[in-house]
Amino acid sequence: MLLKGKEVANQIKEEIAKEVQSIVSKGVRPPHLVAVLVGEDGASKTYVKNKELACEKVGFSSTLVRLPDTTSEEELLAKIEEINNDDEIDGLIVQLPLPKHISEHNITQAINPAKDVDGFHDVSVGRLSKGQDTFISATPYGITQLLDRYNIETKGKHCVVVGRSNIVGRPMSILMSGSNKTGNATVTICHRHTVDLKKYTVMADILIVAVGIPEFITADMVKEGATVIDVGITRVDADNKKGYVLKGDVNFDQVEEVAGYITPVPGGVGPMTIIGLMQNTLKSHQAKFNV
């Protein structure tokens, strides 16, 4: 069965839009998200555009700050400081990856944790790892909500996460093992040095894959009836108008035959990621205005 992220995301967007209407009806300004995009990366431009469209759909204000790829780290830090100090802005994201001469660590740590709607600041990550209320990075947050909306039991299940990135794999493993509604799973985290990956993936009741390698997971690696969450979305050259097709980390055609539930690519995890970001921005606004 397909886990239709796009459908669930549209439902949640309607819920958020109603909240925004209620906020505005009380005379309070709507939530405001700022995205900073440095350079010309094609995929990043698409992601940022989708975030802007989602803001528009739910009634948030959004601002895109575009900077050339020659921007220095100091200039970017100055921009972040300006946004940190602007009371009219609730959420700030700096789209990754950044040009090589800019330290992602320095940039993510410069964002005011109260506006860190990507959940990348060490304060947010630390709070997450201790099970405290915080901004949860958008992709893992979106995935937990997709599991929740489809009533997929996680308690006592074996969840295998493939990939240990700071953006997805690591926070995902923390959430799935945490003491929360979509947690309480036993979690195994696998990565490039895992010996005999298949030995672990076939044990998964819930298999979450975020490695960025198209069609990496094949049917023989998946247990019958497992829930398979595919975070990958890679542009693969193709002979069509766009010149590429989007491929997940899971060989969909094979794995859908064995999986109980599976996310499509596109239309699975991607739209849920944007929902996580919208919810974090709303949360930041609520912390300020309490309406």
Active-site residue identified among 13, 51, 79, 223: 51
Residue 138 touches ligand GUN, criterion: CB under 6 A: yes
Active-site residue identified among 13, 79, 90, 95: 95
Distance CA 103, CA 81 (A): 16
Of the pair 93, 136, the CB lying nearest ligand GUN is at 93
3-class state of residue 146 by DSSP: helix
Q: Smallest distance, Å, CB 21 to ligand GUN? A: 27
Within 10 angstroms of residue 11's Cβ, the number of other Cβ atoms is: 10
Q: Smallest distance, Å, CB 273 to ligand GUN? A: 6
Q: Smallest distance, Å, CB 96 to ligand GUN? A: 4
118 is catalytic: yes
Q: Smallest distance, Å, CB 167 to ligand GUN? A: 5
Distance CA 6, CA 50 (A): 13
Q: Smallest distance, Å, CB 27 to ligand GUN? A: 32
Active-site residue identified among 90, 116, 118, 205: 118
Distance CA 106, CA 124 (A): 15
11 is catalytic: no
51 is catalytic: yes
Rounded to 5 degrees, φ, ψ at 204 are -75, 130
For the window 72-111, what string marks contact with ligand GUN as x by the rule CB under 6 A? ---------------------xxxx---------------
**Residues 270-285 as b or e (16 or more Cβ within 10 Å = b):** bbbbbbbbbbbbbbbb
Residue 167 touches ligand GUN, criterion: CB under 6 A: yes
> What tokens were used for 263?
């996310």
Of the pair 20, 92, the CB lying nearest ligand GUN is at 92
Which sign does the torsion angle of CA 110, 113, 116, 121 carry?
positive
Distance CA 201, CA 125 (A): 26
Within 10 angstroms of residue 45's Cβ, the number of other Cβ atoms is: 15
Q: Where are the beta strands (DSSP E) in 11-116?
A: 32-38, 61-67, 91-94
Of the pair 21, 46, the CB lying nearest ligand GUN is at 46
User: Within positions 109 to 128, which residues make up the interface with ligand GUN, using CB under 6 A?
Assistant: 118
Residue partners of 83: CB distance under 8 A and separation at least 6: 34, 36, 65, 89, 92, 115
Closest-approach residue to ligand GUN (CB): 96
Of the pair 45, 157, the CB lying nearest ligand GUN is at 45
Distance CA 140, CA 193 (A): 22
Of the pair 201, 279, the CB lying nearest ligand GUN is at 279
Site size with ligand GUN, rule: CB under 6 A: 8
Of the pair 91, 178, the CB lying nearest ligand GUN is at 91
In what helix (H) or strand (E) does residue 143 lie, and over which residues does it extend?
A: helix 138-149
Catalytic site residues? 51, 95, 118
Residues of this chain that interact with ligand GUN (CB under 6 A) are 93-96, 118, 138-139, 167
